[in-house]
Amino acid sequence: MITKYFHDRAVLLFLIINSVITVTGVLFVLFHIDASKGSAYIIQCRLCDTAAHEFRGGSAFDMSAFILFLLATFGFSLFISRRVYNERRHVALAMLVMSGLLGIFAVIVSYSLFSLR
């Protein structure tokens, strides 16, 4: 039952945490994207742990992929955890926790790429 899913306090807690992470990440990326900069964004950093840094540039459209990733992660975790909840509650909660961690990692990586610019 879908109503049983949304009445579970643990599920609501993780959904609120995931939505805050998603909205924070989306707003962070939106506030840092400037389309007039052209291809001034660093999209990839190869060999960053050695002295020979290899940066690959991209456009603002490439950086907006973080927004799509955050929204898709939140949407898929909500959809799949809702489907799994009736059979295995603990698996649904684990999926919500893992998607929250994935969102945090995406925000950290986007911050790192924006700070290298």
**pLDDT tens, residue by residue, 38-89:** 667 766 666 666 666 677 777 777 778 889 999 999 999 999 999 999 888 9
Angle at 81 between CA 91 and CA 21, to 5 degrees: 105
CA distance 27 to 16: 16
Give the relative orientation of helices 89-116 and 65-84 as an angle to the nearest 10 degrees. 170
If you average pLDDT over each of 13-22, 26-35, 61-70, which comes out highest? 13-22
